[in-house]
Amino acid sequence: MTYTVQVTVMPLKELLDPQGKAVMGGLSNLGLSNVQDVRIGKNITLQVEAGSADAAKEIAETAAKKLLANPVMEYFEVAVN
Amino acid sequence: MKFGVVVFPGSNCDRDMQEALQNDLKQEVVMLWHKDKDLSRFTTNDCIILPGGFSYGDYLRCGAIARFSPMMQSVIDFANSGGKVLGVCNGFQILCESHLLPGVLLRNANQQFICKNVYLKGVGGADKALKIPIAHGEGRYFADEATLNELEANNQVIYRYCDEKGQITAAANPNGAIRNIAGICNKNRNVFGMMPHPERACTSALGNIDGRIILKTLIMQPQPAFV
């Protein structure tokens, strides 16, 4: 069957995220001073044809490792819906 | 020797590179379409250039999609068999994504696209800092400590951002690149990547010919002299 798999790709925690920093400044200007930090990544939704949820997850993990994320600058999480 | 300049969808410095090599440096240049893969007319004495631009619209990550184009498979084989490859700007990003060079180019620390002249210390710049333009939004070189130490130990850092006097300072670093790195090469010294654009500084009509020094010493000499 077809599984919907969400791949979340985020910049590594130790790296400066200028985009998140800019949005953080915007939120402060809005008066939302309780927001302590903003980091921006990508959410990639895959439709995966597989025999089981685990198999779909494995395929998505391969996709993330080989193309969707670059481990030098990003980490990823995979969730099957 | 002759040069091949790869044209990807979204390349926009390919003709500048052709112009600089053909007209300013009097070299033979062949334009290479990304969908082709034939490099049989090139020998390892020749050089393939990946030009600047926004290949595949910078989708996903800069250079990430270009890596899978048919021509890049041939370029990777060409590099692995010892042929010279130079990537400028987006070309540098493609080389990193293709694992021909270590590390990655991140969004500029100041969140801005930067287009200006900078000064470089490195290959061909023994006597003076080379003035070369940069034009990028993602040029902040980054690699982990172990990789950086290895690059330095092997003398693989080919250019660093410096001031007019050649001093490598934080103030002279335009994009936040780690250790002021503007360009690197691989261990075998046949694959070169740099963010600054030497092809934009090759004719006196543009008021700057420092780019000629870079193209000549880096890729037109059998073995570049490292500073």
Nearest to B47 by CA among B87, B102, B94: B87
Chain B contact present for A15, CB below 8 A: yes
Whose structure tokens read 């990304």? B34
The rounded distance, in Å, linking the Cα atoms of B20 and B132 is 14
**Token pair recorded at residue B112:** 């801005």
Q: Let me know how long chain B is.
A: 227
Name the residue ranges covered by the structural domains of chain B.
2-219
pLDDT by position in tens, chain B (length 227): 999 999 999 999 999 999 999 999 999 999 999 999 999 999 999 999 999 999 999 999 999 999 999 999 999 999 999 999 999 999 999 999 999 999 999 999 999 999 999 999 999 988 899 999 999 999 999 999 999 999 999 999 999 999 999 999 999 999 999 999 999 999 999 999 999 999 999 999 999 999 999 999 998 887 665 54
Give the ipTM. Answer: 0.84
Return the number of CB contacts < 8 Å for A and B. 32
Q: Which residue stretches of chain B are H helix? A: 14-19, 70-80, 90-97, 145-153, 210-215
Contact call for residues A41 and A17 (beta carbons, < 8 A): no
The rounded distance, in Å, linking the Cα atoms of B212 and B209 is 6
Taking contacts as CB-CB distances below 8 angstroms, the residues of chain A near B69 are none
- Are A15 and B106 within 8 A, CB to CB? yes
Closest residue in chain B to residue A21, using alpha carbons only: B111
Active site residue B19: no
- Are A18 and B108 within 8 A, CB to CB? yes
pTM assigned to the model: 0.93
> What CATH code would you report for B2-219?
3.40.50.880
- Are B60 and A68 within 8 A, CB to CB? yes
